Amino acid sequence: MDTDYNQKLYRIIRALNHPVRIKILYYLSDHGKSNVTNLVNQVNISQPAVSRHLRILADAQLITSQQSGKEKLYQLTDEHVNELLKVLHSHIEEQID
């Protein structure tokens, strides 16, 4: 595998390696789009901390953002991310049963 592929894979794995980022991804999966204020309320940490987590998720290309007036709205990059979350959920559910 080439270096570029490995770096992208590493960024995705790193992004998935934190409970707050997982919560953010599942929230966006369920709600479509969200601003930082809603995410802060969901994960119950400071706005700067949420922003750092969002930056890591964006660097891994798991989320995108768009400006809407004075606020930024975050959403999953594409359906592949949703599918990844579904596979993770199914895997865990099978282990619990």
Q: What is the pLDDT of residues 51-86, one digit of tens each?
A: 999 999 999 999 999 998 999 999 999 999 999 999
Pairing of strands 33-34, 71-76: antiparallel
Does position 1 have pLDDT exceeding 80, yes or no?
no
96 CA to centre of own chain: 24
* Chain mean pLDDT for the chain: 94
Predicted local confidence at residue 2, as pLDDT: 86
CA distance 54 to 56: 5
Predicted local confidence at residue 33, as pLDDT: 97
Show the tokens assigned to 11.
């960024």
Instruction: Count other C-beta atoms under 10 Å from residue 11's C-beta.
Output: 16
pTM exceeding the 0.85 threshold for the entire prediction: yes
Name all domains of the chain by residue range, CATH numbers in brackets: 3-96 (1.10.10.10)
Residue at token pair 């809407």: 68
Backbone phi and psi for residue 43, each to the nearest 5 degrees, phi listed first: -100, -10
- Using only C-alpha atoms, the chain has a radius of gyration, in whole angstroms, of 14
Q: Which residue has the higher pLDDT, 2 or 54?
A: 54
